[in-house]
Chains A and B, each alone.
Chain A
Amino acid sequence: EIVLTQSPGTLSLSPGERATLSCRASQSVSSTYLAWYQQKPGQAPRLLIYGASSRATGIPDRFSGSGSGTDFTLTISRLEPEDFAVYYCQQYGNSLFTFGPGTKVDFK
């Protein structure tokens, strides 16, 4: 089973700043199967990025994804107040889906 590790656990930033979130896999992951989600308190997760770098429908272009192999990154170019949330990466491989433990982006 592929294990995903996310860092940092918590990222404390101010609105307008750039956020860089990391997702590392225990073995190589096809970029095709790497996705990112945002979850706010009391809400279901929302798909942000699929295929490592494709934005889902309606996702602002301040969100971008990159990476390959075992290292993937979600970047929020300029944080808006509504972006403070928990972010999860997720992969599919060997007939299994796995999620990372999440990175919380909170106010500095």
Chain B
Amino acid sequence: EVQLVQSGAEVKKPGESPKISCKGSGYSFTNYWIAWVRQMPGKGLEWMGIIYLGDSRTIYSPSFQGQVTISADKSISTAYLQWSSLKASDTAMYYCARTYCTGTSCYTKGLDYWGQGTLVTVSS
């Protein structure tokens, strides 16, 4: 069974640097990239970036470049999302999701499995 399991909710203060995780299981990570998606309270979905666990190649949305760091540890099939300095406006639900990519066929099958989400609350 394919699963993406995310780390638990975080309550942080402005300026802190949390790192949340997304662990995949039940599939071969070599054929998939992991995307991170933000959903602010009551709002829509925003793509933040994407990473290939095999070699940590990463593509960022211009809106999030420099604001977050996406990384991975392929030995434990886990992707990470980290902030250098949280702001109150970073309060949101963060989802990871996988997308198929191999050879010349990339991103053609959508984001087919999603994690359960990690709620990050930033409050002083």
Q: Tell me the complex Cα distance, A51–B107, Å.
A: 9
> Which residues of the partner chain A approach B46 to less than 8 Å between Cβ atoms?
99
> Which residues of the partner chain A approach B37 to less than 8 Å between Cβ atoms?
45, 99
Q: Tell me the complex Cα distance, A37–B52, Å.
A: 22
Q: Smallest CB–CB gap between A69 and chain B, Å?
A: 17
Q: Are A96 and B107 in contact (CB under 8 A)?
A: no
Q: Are A95 and B45 in contact (CB under 8 A)?
A: no
Q: Smallest CB–CB gap between B79 and chain A, Å?
A: 15
Q: Smallest CB–CB gap between A58 and chain B, Å?
A: 11
Q: Tell me the complex Cα distance, A96–B62, Å.
A: 9
Q: Are A33 and B114 in contact (CB under 8 A)?
A: no
Smallest CB gap from B108: residue in A? A32
Q: Size band of the B side of the interface?
A: 20 to 34
Q: Tell me the complex Cα distance, A39–B44, Å.
A: 10
For the residues of B in contact with A, the DSSP-based class is strand
Q: Are A35 and B115 in contact (CB under 8 A)?
A: no
Interface residue count on the A side (C-beta < 8 Å): 26
Q: Are B110 and A44 in contact (CB under 8 A)?
A: no
Inter-chain residue pair count (beta carbon < 8 A): 64
Q: Tell me the complex Cα distance, A61–B45, Å.
A: 25
Q: Provided the pairs A44-B115, A44-B117 are in contact, do residues A50 and B44 lie with their beta carbons within 8 angstroms? A: no
Q: Report which residue of B62, B95, B109 has the largest number of chain A beta carbons within 10 angstroms of its beta carbon.
A: B109
Q: Are B44 and A44 in contact (CB under 8 A)?
A: no
> Which residues of the partner chain B approach A97 to less than 8 Å between Cβ atoms?
35, 47, 50, 61, 107
> Which residues of the partner chain A approach B61 to less than 8 Å between Cβ atoms?
96-97
Known A-B contacts: A33-B108, A90-B111, A97-B47. Give 14 more (CB < 8 A). Answer: A37-B45, A39-B45, A44-B114, A44-B116, A45-B95, A47-B112, A49-B110, A50-B108, A51-B110, A56-B112, A57-B112, A96-B62, A97-B107, A99-B37
List the interface of chain A (C-beta within 8 A of B).
Answer: 1, 32-33, 35, 37, 39, 44-47, 49-51, 56-57, 88, 90, 92, 95-102
List, sorted by A's number, 7 A–B pairs whose CB atoms are closer than 8 Å.
Answer: A33-B108, A44-B116, A45-B111, A46-B114, A47-B112, A50-B112, A99-B45
